[in-house]
Structure 1
C-alpha cells in the first residue's frame, strides 16, 4: 500500500501529512497526543473522553490553567511562551490557556505580564496559538485586569528585595495609576488605588472587548474572563472592596455584579457564536470566620451569580477561590476548592435553577495525582466537573497527561516524534 503523501507550504513532497493551518511544516498529529487509543473501552475514564463546547471539541478533559510567568516584553509574548505553552500541547493537554493577559497597560499584574491592548501583540500570540494548533490541540486565553493588585514585582524580585511588592516607576511600574472599585488598598503597605469613574469603567469595558477581538484575530479557540483572585472584577463583586454609591456598587448584589454581567454580554456579542466563553471566579473570599465580621463575597453569592451566567453567555464556570484579602483564612486540604463545584450545582438545583444543567464547570486546585484527576470529571462521581484544570502540576510535570494515563492503565497517543519512547505497560512511572 502506498504511503500517504502530503505537501508542505514550500511545495515539497513529504511522506507525512502536514499539520493544517500553520505557516510551517510539522507532521499532522492524528489523533492528537493524549487521545485514548481505545475510545470504546467500557472502562475508559471520563477523563480521557472527548468533550465539545459550542463549536470546539477537546480530545480529553485536561486543561492547562493560566499561570503567570512574568516574561513578556512590553506585553508581547516571546519565544519563551512558545516553548513554555507549546510543551503542554505536545504532551497531550487538550486545552492550554495563556496566562492572565491584561486588556490595558495598567491592568498588568507586573511590568512583565502578557498584554493584548494593542495590535502589535496579536502576532506573537498567534505564534503560540499556531504551534498549539499544529499539535491538534486547542488554545485559550484568559483576559484580565489586575485592578488594585497591579504594578507588583515578579516573585523572585520580591524575595531579593525583602520589602514592598509593588513596582516603582523606576522599575517600569505605575503605582499611582492602579484602578479599583473603591480607593481601598489591598494591604496597609500597598499602593492606594484610584476609584474608577464611570468614564473609566466604560473605557475598561471597551478595552476588554477590543482585546477579545484581538484574541479572535490571533486564532484562539476559547476566551476566559478573569473574575477571580482579587483582581479588578473581584473588587467590584465583593462588598469588602466595593463601597461605591453609584449603579456599580454599594450593598446591592445587583449593582456589584453589574459590571461583570455587562462585560460578559459585551464579550459574548463580540466573539464568534461557535467560541466557548469561560469565566473564572473566586467562589468565596474565605472571610466567613474572620473577626470582626464584615460582608464579603461568599459561596451563596456565587450561586446567585451562577444562576445568571448562562443567559448572559457564559458556557463554563471555572471555580477557584480567594485572593481579595490578606485576612483570608483557608482550611487547606486537597479538595478545598474542588468540592465547591458539586456544592454550587446542588444549591442551584435546590432552588429550581436550570443553570445547574446549562452551565458547565471546571474544577481547579491541588490536582496532582492520577486518581484525583480521574475523580474530578468521572461521570457518576462525587464532583462531576466537565474539565479538570491544573497549573503547578504541569510546571512540575509537563508530561502530566501521559503519566496520568499510564498510572490509570489508559493507552494514549503520543506525539509522532516521541512515539519510540512510549512507556511499557509494566513500567513504574
Structure 2
C-alpha cells in the first residue's frame, strides 16, 4: 500500500512505523509542518497499561520509551495547607519532544519516509491508497471534509497554561490555591531528569477577574510563580511557546468528537482514497486524565491490527478494515471521553468541593472520573484507603474495633432529625401495581418485609396516592381511606418488629400520567374502560395521540389536592412511618408545575421558576406543618428533563434550595420522565452527578439514584461526598437481601443479619472467600501486579 500520514505527531509516526514493520513493502510517508526537533508542550503521561499495549505492538520503540520514562506510583494532593498522598497508581512521564524523537528514529530505522517543514494545504496533491489525517486538534483535513466527519467541538470553561520547571516532583502533584478571585489549581509531574510539567488551570471567570487576560506572558508566569511558590522551592516557571504573546498562551480545552472518522475522496482516475482521522483530529480527552497521547497511539495500533485482519488487496478489504477500526475505537474513545468529561467538570467546579475537609477533597479528586472506584483504590493502596475509611467512619460517629477491618462508607450510619439510619442504602420507591382499591395487601407485606430484612437501612413504599383520581393505575396503593391506614400500619409494624430498618412512605399524585394500565399490560397506555378525569398544571397529553387529555387544575382543585396531601400525611403519622417523601418528579402532578415543558399557566403558579415552585412548595409546607418535627421529609425531583427548553441541573439546584428553605431534609435526585421527547444519556451511575451538584451547590443532603448496582458504586458515591444515601431499585427486585449480599462480596463481615439467617451468612461468606482466593490463584498475580493492571487514569 501507498500510505501518507498528514501530521507527524504520535499518531502519524506510530501508525507509519507499525505499518512498515508489518509489511516492508508498504510505501509510508509522514509529513510534518514543523522542523524535526520542534514541538510544543512539555511532558506527557502514560499508564502502565498503555506501556503494555506499546510493548505488544512494537517492542523496540516501547523499550526506548521505557528507558526514557520517569515512573511514579504516588499522587499527592495539596489543599488548605494539608497534603494527602496515595500510592499504587503506576504512571510514567516522558518529554513530548523525546517521545517524538524516539518514534522518528524508529520510523527511519524501518524505512518510513519523513518529510518535515511541509504544510499540507491540499490532500488531493497526494496519490495514495490510504491517507491518515493525523494533523492535530485544528485539523485542516477535518475542516475540509467537515460535511462527512461532522465534528462536534465543545470548548470547555477553564483556562490553562502549559509550563515547565526545574523543580523535580516525586509524585503526580495536584496543588490548589485560593485567591481573592477564586481557585487556581496546578497539575505537576516530572518527565525527565531535569524538568517537570507544570500546568496551571482556573475557570474563565476567575482568570478574567485576576486580570490574566490583560497580562503579558512574562507577568502571567510571574503571577503563577508567586501563587504556587511554596511548591516550587525557589525554581522558576518556564514557557516554551515563544510564538505566543500575552494571554494567548492561556487556552481553553476543546473536546472534539466526530460522527464519522473516514471520508472517501474521489480521484480524477475514478478511484477512491480513504482519508482516516486519527489522534487529536478524531478526538480529544482532557489532560487531567492524561489520555490524549494514549488515545493517539492506540488509534494507530487498532488501525494497523484492523488492516492486518483484512489483508486482501481489494478495496472492499480496506473498507472492511476501516469499518472495524472505527467501530472498535469509537467505543474505546467514548469510554475515555466520558471519564474525561467527568474529570474536566470536576476541575471546572473545584469550588463545589472546597468546603470538604482535605481527606474527602482528596478522595473526591482521585475518583472524579468514575474510572477509579473505591475498591480500585483499595487494590492500589490499601493502607491509604483503610485510613480514609477510618476517618470517614469517625465523622459518622463510629469507630472500628481494634481487631476488625475498617468500615466501608456504605455501612456508616446517617442521622436525619431524630431518625438514625444504620447504613447508607435505601430501597428505592418502585411501582408494583399490586394493590386492590388502593389497599396494600399481603403482596406488599411480603415485598417490603423481605427487603427490610435484607440489610437496607430504609425501605420506601412505591408512590402512594392521595386520592382515587391521583392513582397512576388501578393497581396503585393509596392513603385516603381507613382501610388504607390499617393495611399500611400492618406493614409498618412488621418492619419495625422483624428488622432494624426504617420505613418511609412516598406520597404523590399522578396528574396527566394517571388512569393507565399496569406496566405489564402496557406502560403509560390508557385504560380500555373505567378511566377517571385527569388534572395537571396545564392541559396536557403525555403520549401524543394516545394518552387521555388532562386539563388545568382550578384554584379550588389545587386547594382540595393540597388538603388530600395533608390528610395522607396525618394518616401516615398514625400508621407509624419513620420517613415521608413528597414526589415532585417524573412528570406527575407536582412535577408538572415545576417543568416549563408542562406548565404554561399564566396565573401565580406559572411563568418563572419562582412561580412554578409556588404550588409544590405550598403543598410541602402544608405537610411539613403536620409531619412530626423529629422525622425527616425528602423531596424527589427530576433534575434534568433531557429536553431542550426543559429544566436543567442548574434549575435543579435552585429547586433544591427552595425546598431546603421550606424545611426539606433531603433531595432525592432523579431525572427525566417528564416528556416523551426526552433524550437521556444513560450509563453507570448516570444520575449521580445531579445529586452531586445539588448536594454541594444547594447545601442539602441528597439521595443518588440510577444504575447504582454494586457496593463499589455506593462506597464511591458516599465517600466522595456526591450523595448521602443511595437508592437501589432493580437490584433489590432481583435480590431482596442485596445489601447483605454486597457486604459479603466485599468481605465486610460485621454487618448484622436476621438471627434465623445466620447460617446462610457464614456459608455465603465462606463461598465468596473461596472464590476470591481461587480468582487470585488463577490470575497468578501479586497484589502489586493486580494494581498495575487495574485500568484507571490520573
1:238 counterpart = 2:587: no
Among 557, 560, 585, the alignment partner of 1:203 is: 560
Asked whether the equivalents of residues 695 and 701 of structure 2 are also in contact (C-alpha less than 8 Å), the reply is: no
Deviation per residue, 1:18-72 (Å, 9 max, x gap): xxxxxxxxxxxxxxxxxx9957756211210111110111111110010011110
Name the structure where strand makes up a greater proportion of residues: 2
Asked whether the equivalents of residues 110 and 173 of structure 1 are also in contact (C-alpha less than 8 Å), the reply is: no
Map 1:4-153 → 2, pairs under 5 A = 41=404, 43-134=406-497, 135-153=499-517
Distance in structure 1 (CA, Å) of the matches to 2:701 and 2:711? 22
Match of 2:525 in 1: 165
- Whose relative contact order is higher, 1 or 2, with alpha carbons under 8 Å and at least 6 apart? 1
SS at match of 1:339: helix
Over 3 Å counting, the alpha-carbon distance change for 1:366 and 1:423 in structure 2 is farther
**CA-CA distance at 1:215 after TM superposition:** 0.5
Match of 2:129 in 1: none
**CA-CA distance at 1:132 after TM superposition:** 0.8
**CA-CA distance at 1:103 after TM superposition:** 0.5
Distance in structure 1 (CA, Å) of the matches to 2:678 and 2:522? 21
Distance in structure 2 (CA, Å) of the matches to 1:375 and 1:245? 44
Unaligned 5+ segments in structure 2 are 1-397, 772-794
SS at match of 2:527: coil
Match of 2:135 in 1: none
Among 170, 176, 180, the alignment partner of 2:536 is: 180
Match of 1:391 in 2: 729
1:342 counterpart = 2:706: no
Deviation per residue, 1:70-115 (Å, 9 max, x gap): 1101001101100011001112111100110000111101011010
Distance in structure 1 (CA, Å) of the matches to 2:414 and 2:693? 23
Distance in structure 2 (CA, Å) of the matches to 1:230 and 1:60? 30
Distance in structure 1 (CA, Å) of the matches to 2:623 and 2:612? 19
Asked whether the equivalents of residues 583 and 635 of structure 2 are also in contact (C-alpha less than 8 Å), the reply is: yes
Unaligned 5+ segments in structure 1 are 1-35, 289-294, 349-354
Distance in structure 2 (CA, Å) of the matches to 1:154 and 1:230? 17
Count how many residue pairs are aligned between Structure 1 and Structure 2: 367
Among 705, 715, 739, the alignment partner of 1:364 is: 705
Distance in structure 2 (CA, Å) of the matches to 1:335 and 1:82? 30
Match of 1:319 in 2: 669
**CA-CA distance at 1:373 after TM superposition:** 1.8
RMSD: 1.7
1:285 counterpart = 2:641: yes
**CA-CA distance at 1:388 after TM superposition:** 0.8
Over 3 Å counting, the alpha-carbon distance change for 1:196 and 1:39 in structure 2 is farther
Map 1:369-380 → 2, pairs under 5 A = 369-378=710-719
**CA-CA distance at 1:340 after TM superposition:** 1.3
SS at match of 1:260: helix
Name the structure where helix makes up a greater proportion of residues: 2
Deviation per residue, 1:249-308 (Å, 9 max, x gap): 1x21111110111111111101110010000000010013xxxxxx31111111112122
Q: Which has the larger radius of gyration?
A: 2
Match of 1:292 in 2: none
Match of 1:12 in 2: none
Distance in structure 1 (CA, Å) of the matches to 2:714 and 2:468? 36
Distance in structure 2 (CA, Å) of the matches to 1:335 and 1:390? 11
Match of 1:400 in 2: 738
SS at match of 1:116: coil
Asked whether the equivalents of residues 111 and 173 of structure 1 are also in contact (C-alpha less than 8 Å), the reply is: no
SS at match of 2:538: coil
Match of 1:416 in 2: 755
Over 3 Å counting, the alpha-carbon distance change for 1:129 and 1:184 in structure 2 is same
**CA-CA distance at 1:426 after TM superposition:** 3.9
1:269 counterpart = 2:621: no
1:190 counterpart = 2:561: no
Which aligned segments of 4 or more residues in structure 1 are displaced greater than 6 angstroms? none
Distance in structure 1 (CA, Å) of the matches to 2:668 and 2:676? 22
Distance in structure 1 (CA, Å) of the matches to 2:737 and 2:401? 21
Over 3 Å counting, the alpha-carbon distance change for 1:64 and 1:39 in structure 2 is farther
1:299 counterpart = 2:299: no
**CA-CA distance at 1:345 after TM superposition:** 3.5
TM-score, normalised by the number of residues in structure 2: 0.45
